Structure 1
Amino acid sequence: MDTKNHLSRHFLGTQPSVLRSIPFAPAGPTDDDGTALKHSLLALADWNQDSEQHRLSIADLQVRQKDGSAEGATVQELASWVSDGSIKSMEVGDLGNGELVIVAGSSRGHLNRLRLTSPLAPGSDPSEIQLRGDGDMEGAQLLPWMSLHHGRVAALDICAETREVVSAGEDGALFVVPLESTSALQPLVEARASASCRAVRWASQQTFVSAGTTGGLEVWDKRRPGRPQLRSPLSWGLSGSPALDAANGLERQINCIAAHPSRPHLCATGASAGTVAIWDLRFTAQPTVHVSPKPGSGEVWEVHFDGYEIFGSALGGSDPSVLFCTSGGVLGSVPSSPGESKENASVAEQLQPSSVLYEEPCSGIRSFDVDATSGQDLFCTTDQECLVYLSRGARL
């Protein structure tokens, strides 16, 4: 059983391109009115029009909770750092015992790194967060940690278990970088003149999956540089649906990837024609393809597996739903269990239904994330410089 949901919109005054939830201590004890204060921390990559600067900032969404449900929320910026270029890819890694790392990729091919120590005790205040290394939480220039790519860092991902970052560039190069490394590295895959990377995700501690302009998915083993371990069949098209490729043309591309939290052979992708596909990375069956139920909802920009099922009995079920956002303002959900896809089927026969969790009026949803602490809340940013907060209620 769920208590009531909560939805609020907050004007940021900046144009965010990426949002990521930062793990933080749970709420402390309630006051005399039975209200507790929860701090939901968010990393934001944005463009500040007033100062004409690209930035990485940390915001505190202060949520007042009663009986486990949100009663209201306000947002406050805690710190910001100026980036040497725009940031289109960013991830937060929870390394354990309060140790966090934020890695952001810039349009100039750099990786930037912030290392934080966060308090663990319930009721802790964000002012207790400490920035490790040079600099402080008052804000400064975000200095490049690694210079890897010729052109934009298209995507990156952090493997907390091995403390490594995989970085994919528009130049087609792939790097695996230890988080503590300070020296120049050789690419796992050299820059390729005929191919550009668009998305990348760790599938296990040894393997990761990527997508690019050549279409389909490639699975790589970090111990075997140079060539992919597996590649999806060309007959499956650029994004898993040959019928859709035929109907919409070769401009269809995979924009984003999410890896299943407990089944390393499964992943989800979002594509330019507004579809979400569920893939078995052993490539023994054609992926199941879902389409947004709202006509004209645009490209799928991000996908995430949902660790919090509203009507479930526990977190972390074996097959959490896949959440997605689109350039047309839809935040939706599809089941993650692979279905049956018929070869040579029509477009209508191949597509599976999806559901809408939230629709942003007259604006696209640029980026979203699931609460990194409990999975209960959703956060997304819009083209109208707003943060949308959706709390799905507490289970009783």
Structure 2
Amino acid sequence: MPATDFQGSSSSHSHPSPFSSFGRSLLSLRRDTPASAAASPVMPFGDEADLEAFQLHVAAHLAELRGGEGGEEFLSIAWIRRLLEAFLLCQEELRVVVAHARRRGALPAPAEKLVSELGERALKALDVCNAARDGLDQVRRWERLAGIAASVLLAPGEIHEGQLRRARKALSDLSVLLIDDAAAAAGGGGGVASFLASHRNRSFGRARASPSRAASLASSSSSSSHFRSLSWSVSRTWSAARQLQAIGAGLAVPRTHEASGLAAPVYSMGCLLHLAAWALVTAVPCPDRGSALQAHHLPTAPPRAAFPWAPPLLALQERLTEEGKRKDRRNSCGLLKEIHALEKCAQRLAEAIDAATVPLTGEREAEVREAAAELAAVCAAMKDGLEPLDRQVREVFHRIVRSRMEGLDSPMLNGD
């Protein structure tokens, strides 16, 4: 990821934080405790009460994501942003707890080791951030091609043969890119041959490709090659599934005697990190994304009764697994709601164009314009959402790096 100045979540974009209504610190949570608890002596920052409040905070974030309280649809751009915002807020609160405990010299060696292990686990998510940003770049290419096809057909005046040809060309280029990216994500071959082999399952044409359509796709394969992402910021052998396994490896449920210490909050943060990474690599194009849709990479499931955040976390994991198994999503380039909408609307427009003959009748022209308008609306929504999401992924990357550097500056870790 290119080096950039880190910006906090409040300054990275002009829109209010998706969790602004719930982004309270541990101090504000303490102010809301019952009178009986408030009457007891105020304990130092980082004590058992703070750690318990942190876990309740994680549970509240995950419950909101599970219930879609912000009005976002599951796996939409807005929902992914809320998930990343939850990760950033929880990471910051745990960082504050640890920093205050270090200043007081109240963080023993076993606790420092837990924090260091969480930092090492988080470092493995840096590649996920890079791969996700590459995937978002590919989605931008799709949006631009789809936008060209839609805008050409929504121009004032009658629709002429030249407009249909230009829109058809843009959709053919888009189809080739989608098929190639889907094949790469699944670990298989791509290109027009892959398109023809899988045409019955997913395409922008009819159940069978006509000779003229196949020829159009063949010619567009070479002309659209300059749109392709020929190099990822991760290595060619990088696998999203293997990286998720690495992030979840060793993430074990704390033992009973550790439940009252830092082990439980660190464990909850590790589970939240894994969920955020899993959602990212399944939502957008990533190498070996198809394998990442399987649930075999999940860490040991937390007992539902042991942690307040376990029920909503497990419910979100189950829903992600179910989305990956849906017949209409298995061959998609990503589970992101906007990607699915782009594919469907582009297919409908391609079919309307294929059925059209010049000069267009009033009914055919209305059908083409309606399909173009639907695709244009999807492109507009995608264009508005991709840039903020890209900035947020960048922010997650830099927050992880900064937290790790702070951990390495700890006197206990550097031997000072």
Structure-2-length-normalised TM-score: 0.21
- Which is helix-richer, 1 or 2? 2
Q: For CA contacts below 8 A with separation 6 or more, give which structure has more relative contact order.
A: 2
Structure-1-length-normalised TM-score: 0.22
